[in-house]
A and B are shown apart, each in its own frame.
Chain A
Amino acid sequence: GENVEQHPSTLSVQEGDSAVIKCTYSDSASNYFPWYKQELGKGPQLIIDIRSNVGEKKDQRIAVTLNKTAKHFSLHITETQPEDSAVYFCAASGNAGNMLTFGGGTRLMVKP
């Protein structure tokens, strides 16, 4: 089955700096790659996603890139703010329904 690895597990940045989180996946059939943000006591919130026919997608301060050949995708957050502090999860999904395989998560801390 699919296996998703996520790095780093923790990331501390100064407010205003950029943050990058990287994920690799194993199943070449995977074609959908969402990113979720989870705050304490809440469920994961979908923040951006990318499909295998696209190399990059941006939404204001966040962007995701996908390299299908290397089987890795990354989340980029620019101009980080304290409210960006949370745990971020990458995930991958193929054609077998909506089942998501998640990475282990990255705890992002943005220091004011």
Chain B
Amino acid sequence: KAGVTQTPRYLIKTRGQQVTLSCSPISGHRSVSWYQQTPGQGLQFLFEYFSETQRNKGNFPGRFSGRQFSNSRSEMNVSTLELGDSALYLCASSLVLTGGAEQYFGPGTRLTVT
């Protein structure tokens, strides 16, 4: 079974631009979560989707948004990019949305903002 896939793998953007990242979960998984990983802040939860609805949101500004499609694929968008948005963005998928569901991560999208 294929794992979680994320596209693109690398991205370079300029301050003020916006970016859209894509995630395809493991086949049959219906829950998708997004995390930001930086050397300074570590791994931080962004948001979580299940059945096309955002179920949980982390402590990030409104410039960070996401959505999930009927096939469980998810996208996240960051508008008005700032230098501090440079990070590895990780997507994780789970079979269900219950506390304690195993989550499997994709390889991430490395975003560099210049």
Chain A residues near B77: list those with CB within 8 A. none
> DSSP majority for the A interface?
loop
Interface flags, B34-58, vs A, CB<8A=1, else 0? 0100000011110010100001101
From A32, A97, A98, A102, name the one whose CB has the most chain B CB atoms within 10 angstroms.
A98
Interface flags, B88-106, vs A, CB<8A=1, else 0? 0010101001111111111
**Could you give 24 example pairs across A and B, Cβ below 8 Å?**
A31-B100, A32-B99, A32-B100, A41-B107, A42-B107, A42-B108, A43-B108, A46-B102, A46-B103, A91-B43, A93-B100, A96-B56, A97-B50, A97-B55, A97-B97, A97-B99, A98-B97, A98-B98, A98-B103, A100-B45, A101-B45, A102-B42, A102-B43, A104-B42
> Using a CB–CB distance below 8 Å, which chain B residues touch chain A?
4, 31, 33, 35, 42-45, 48, 50, 55-56, 58, 90, 92, 94, 97-108
Contacts A97-B99, A98-B99 supplied; 14 other A-B pairs, CB < 8 Å? A31-B100, A34-B103, A43-B107, A46-B102, A51-B100, A95-B99, A96-B99, A97-B55, A97-B97, A98-B94, A98-B98, A99-B48, A100-B33, A100-B35
